[in-house]
Amino acid sequence: MSRVEETPNVSAAAPMMSVESPVAAGGPAHLSVVPPAAQTSPNPAPESAPPATRADAPKAGAGSKADGKGGDGKGEGARSGLDIEAFSQNLAQMVDEGSKALAAYLGPRTQAKTDDLADEIADALKTVGQVAEYWMTDPQRSLEAQTRLMTGYLSVWTNTLKRLGGEKVEPVTAPDAKDARFKDEGWRESPIFDALKQAYLVTTRWAEEMVEQAEGLDAHTKHKAGFLVKQVTNAISPSNFVMTNPELIRETFSSSGENLVNGMKNLTRDLVAGNGSLKIRQTDMSAFEVGRNLATTPGKVIYENDLMQLIQYEATTGSVKKMPLLIVPPWINKFYILDLTAEKSFIRWLVDQGISVFVISWVNPDARLAEKGFDDYMREGIMAALDKVAVATGERQAHAMGYCVGGTLLATTLAYMAATGDDRIASATFLTTQIDFTHAGDLKVFVDEDQLAAIERKMKQTGYLEGSKMASAFNMLRSNDLIWPYVVNNYMKGKAPFPFDLLFWNADSTRMPAANHSYYLRNCYLTNNIARGLAELSGVRIDMTKVNVPVYSLATREDHIAPPNSVFIGANMLSGPVRYVLAGSGHIAGVVNPPAKMKYQYWADGPTGPSYDLWLQGAQEHKGSWWPDWLNWFSSYYPEDVPARPIGGGHFTPIEDAPGRYVREKS
């Protein structure tokens, strides 16, 4: 499924002050430390996210002056607004806190804990080495590559000298307009920081070109090398370091270094929470609790087995649709992404529209479930749930809705049922679901035979894949949104991340049973056997073309997990009527988009055929959420209403209140 691709902008406006550059004091070049009146607003947070940092900046350190006249009012410290005494005290405290962070990191390793990174590092070096080999085996080619890089640097240097002399010049290169790392005015106003930014961008684009222009590499190796290069260049951005980021310099001066003390405390806290591994907080985890202010739609757990609990939600209308709905969430994440706060809850909205909603809540598995495979999730998950839905409602058939990998499981289950003559699923909805994985995006860089063998060796030792491994992989897909802004905010600005429900869910990871995860990676990402008709479930060959029930297939336009073209290709494999709809935004916000907010848009009714691009050209754009469109589609197939059903239909004794205990189990 997903890790979050829609994140708040963690750049918060810091107190501004004027700091002269020691290089050009008194001349036209200054460190661009912009006074408050000249500040521009931070880049608006994408999607529905609030700003991810607390609005109040850290208080100045001991002895600092609110008016900026630090210390005794003498010397350079006073002219810059820096309280030297407080700064010195805070530096000493930072060193002390740093020793605690080091202890938190080393402590578990004295107890035989290892980082377990040898396989990943070896694979990365092997991949990048193939690119380097292409350039270094031909001296002329290598010289030309170096010349291009040096030419870029010289151009930046020449422009910088001109700016220092008071000339106005066009930049050699500029960041993308959506790149929030360089939104601060200091990156433009100061020739020094502008040169640093441009030199970084020249280096980044040169490195990307080295990968793109390397010949003789297979597509997977080139894709993986490009991904690795992007991770490295994102990590070394000057925006990530105190001494090369004008905003962080202002933050440090204005608080007399207390931000660094607070940042080191945050680092220690996160290392302790990760048992020696850095567990970067993206939100205030104390602000939310499942069942208290998340996943609060009233309902009951009416059935459970080793793999799942089945939740039925209480009707809020006098009558309901005769056709019940069974939701199959991904097991890679927890189901309450569809039941966040009340105003964002898709499940609550469905119930309020008069639909009898049942949801599978997958267990967070441990070593005891190591042998549970894809077919077990089909039989003990979807099929067991269908049995109970039929008893609770009196309806032999149900509509099934699958989200991401839950949708992939649902699609293969439909193919299995078609092959075995089982028609209990009358129709289906797929939310950002891939069936064909040919164009599965950047997640494919993590899957090849060598990497899979390494993963399977680790899973054999534990019986499962730790949830943090998948979380890290998803975060790396958008490291400039999901990793580095929080490194800067938490450890350099020393601020606490803002409470945000979606990021709380994102951090609430789950484990994957060894057998199930291996089947999924091999038959989807590695071999694409499900789409090719070569996969089997419980001894039955899976043929997706045999699925002929009506289908509503939703993709999202900015999806990094299930790209819209990939979803489109999979939907076109099915033989029944398919309504393909494209929502604005990404894998999460494009799906969890309540109509009341009137955010984003969706496209529908493009020309049928195999071409996604042609479909998009002819599709009609509609403002707002796709939810009402789905309801109209569903109602057109199932217009009949019946009196509201009691939970369990008189046949089940509720086990516990929703959301149940399975979803509360932490990894």
Classified as helix, coil or strand, 650 is helix
**pLDDT the model gives residue 83:** 85
pLDDT at 407 over 80: yes
Residue 385 CA from chain centroid, whole number: 29
pLDDT at 331 over 90: yes
Instruction: Please answer whether residues 576 and 552 qualify as being in contact, where contact means their C-beta atoms are separated by less than 8 angstroms.
Output: no
| Run of H or E residues at 258 | helix 258-273
What is the secondary structure of 349-415 as a DSSP string?
Answer: HHHHTT--EEEEEE----GGGTT--HHHIIIIIIIHHHHHHHHHHS-S-EEEEEETHHHHHHHHHHH
**Cα separation, 412 vs 375, whole angstroms:** 9
**pLDDT the model gives residue 557:** 97
Provide mean pLDDT across the span 420-432: 98
Which amino acid is present at 516?
N
Provide mean pLDDT across the span 316-339: 97
Q: Tell me the sheet residues that pair with 294.
A: 290
Burial class (CB in 10 A: 0-12, 13-18, 19+), 28: exposed
**pLDDT the model gives residue 104:** 85
Strand 398-403 relative to strand 325-328, pairing: parallel
**pLDDT the model gives residue 55:** 35
Crossing angle of helices 139-164 and 191-212, in 10° steps, is: 160
pLDDT at 42 over 90: no
Provide mean pLDDT across the span 126-131: 93
**Cα separation, 587 vs 333, whole angstroms:** 13
Provide mean pLDDT across the span 640-658: 97
Which amino acid is present at 376?
D
Secondary structure of 267-280 in HEC code, one letter for each residue: HHHHHHHCCCCCCC
User: Among 418, 474, 465, which Cα is nearest to 667's?
Assistant: 465
Whole-prediction pTM: 0.86
Known catalytic residues are: 404
**pLDDT the model gives residue 80:** 52
Instruction: Please answer whether residues 548 and 575 qualify as being in contact, where contact means their C-beta atoms are separated by less than 8 angstroms.
Output: yes
Backbone angles phi, psi at 119, to 5 degrees: -65, -40
User: Among 605, 570, 562, which Cα is nearest to 587's?
Assistant: 562
Instruction: Please answer whether residues 3 and 506 qualify as being in contact, where contact means their C-beta atoms are separated by less than 8 angstroms.
Output: yes
Which amino acid is present at 94?
M
pLDDT at 6 over 80: no
According to DSSP, residue 294 is labeled B
Strand 299-304 relative to strand 308-313, pairing: antiparallel
Split at pLDDT 50, 70, 90, the class of 277 is confident
Domains of the chain by start residue, with CATH:
1-42+69-256 (no CATH), 299-441+513-664 (3.40.50.1820)
**pLDDT the model gives residue 115:** 56
Neighbours of 17 (CB within 10 A): 17
| Edge-first strand listing for the sheet containing 620-623 | 620-623, 601-604, 578-583, 551-556, 425-431, 398-403, 325-328, 357-362, 308-313, 299-304, 656-657
pLDDT in tens, 75-105: 344 445 678 889 899 889 999 988 988 888 8
**pLDDT the model gives residue 13:** 33
pLDDT in tens, 479-534: 999 999 999 999 999 999 999 999 999 999 999 999 999 999 999 999 999 999 99
* The pair of three-digit structure tokens given for residue 456, joined into one six-digit string: 């399977």
pLDDT at 602 over 50: yes
Mean residue pLDDT across the chain: 88
**pLDDT the model gives residue 77:** 43
Strand 551-556 relative to strand 578-583, pairing: parallel
**pLDDT the model gives residue 111:** 65
pLDDT in tens, 543-574: 999 999 999 999 999 999 999 999 999 999 99
pLDDT in tens, 200-249: 999 999 999 999 999 999 999 999 999 999 999 999 999 999 999 999 99
Q: Is the backbone peptide bond immediately before 659 cis, with ω within 30 degrees of 0?
A: yes
* The pair of three-digit structure tokens given for residue 628, joined into one six-digit string: 């009402």
Instruction: Please answer whether residues 164 and 28 qualify as being in contact, where contact means their C-beta atoms are separated by less than 8 angstroms.
Output: yes
**Cα separation, 210 vs 144, whole angstroms:** 11
**pLDDT the model gives residue 275:** 85
